Structure 1
């Protein structure tokens, strides 16, 4: 595994149809919730996609999450909390960062704020950079 993807990168990769980019990647179990929430937001709040498209996207995410490596945060709670406090991150974002550090992976995120706050502690790339 070379990349640890957060939900923003994962959703954008899927939107662009670049599924092959997921070959050498993993994510954390939280990413499924965040990805589903992103689809819900685009459908329900932003009205960018209709219900049928949203459901098709959810089905695709379901298939991806059935095969992609998913990593648990269990046992890393203290480190996640410390990184969150030190770098002014949410616990959610810190969970991706700590797992990327622990596994020697590049953090793949399209969240510019997260990337900016963590570049000094983990290698970060956007989904378009791979």
Structure 2
């Protein structure tokens, strides 16, 4: 299944679960890398849930995994992002995921239930758990 756009919440969850199989050959927004690194920094520095000696290894894994993914650039879609943000009552950051998914015919994978609700009717959305469950039923 190579038509998925992962946001940072789903990318982090997939990495923590070791689900590289779901990520490879799929898509991320170019800002997702920074968003993931910021979340890992927060877990290490502020929440203290990831030991400092493990965080660099996590960054290396992120680099290896994102090398297997296609990175999308929203350049040229500024008007669509702003229009979507205003119409949907969301940030332009969230709107950029919806617009990229729409432009490239991708399913948006996010753990953000509010974003999934706002994207309803514009693009197909799913969560990592829903995706894993649907793939499990396909394999059976």
Whether TM-score is above 0.5 comes out as yes
After TM superposition, list the pairs within 5 Å mapping 1:98-109 onto structure 2. 98-109=99-110
Cα shift at 1:88:
1.6
Instruction: Quote the Cα distance in structure 1 between the aligned partners of 2:116 and 2:57.
Output: 30
Structure showing greater relative contact order (alpha-carbon pairs closer than 8 Å, 6 or more residues apart): 1
Partner SS, residue 129 of structure 1: helix
Residue number in structure 2 paired with 1:37: 38
After TM superposition, list the pairs within 5 Å mapping 1:34-113 onto structure 2. 34-113=35-114
* Conserved 8 A contact 2:98-2:108: yes
Cα shift at 1:80:
0.5
Instruction: Quote the Cα distance in structure 2 between the aligned partners of 1:48 and 1:23.
Output: 27
**Normalization by structure 1: what TM-score?**
0.94
Instruction: Quote the Cα distance in structure 2 between the aligned partners of 1:91 and 1:99.
Output: 12
**Normalization by structure 2: what TM-score?**
0.88
- Structure 1's unaligned 5+ residue stretches are none
* Conserved 8 A contact 2:8-2:33: yes
Cα shift at 1:67:
2.8
Partner SS, residue 27 of structure 1: strand
Instruction: Quote the Cα distance in structure 2 between the aligned partners of 1:66 and 1:25.
Output: 11
Instruction: Quote the Cα distance in structure 2 between the aligned partners of 1:25 and 1:129.
Output: 17
Residue number in structure 2 paired with 1:8: 9
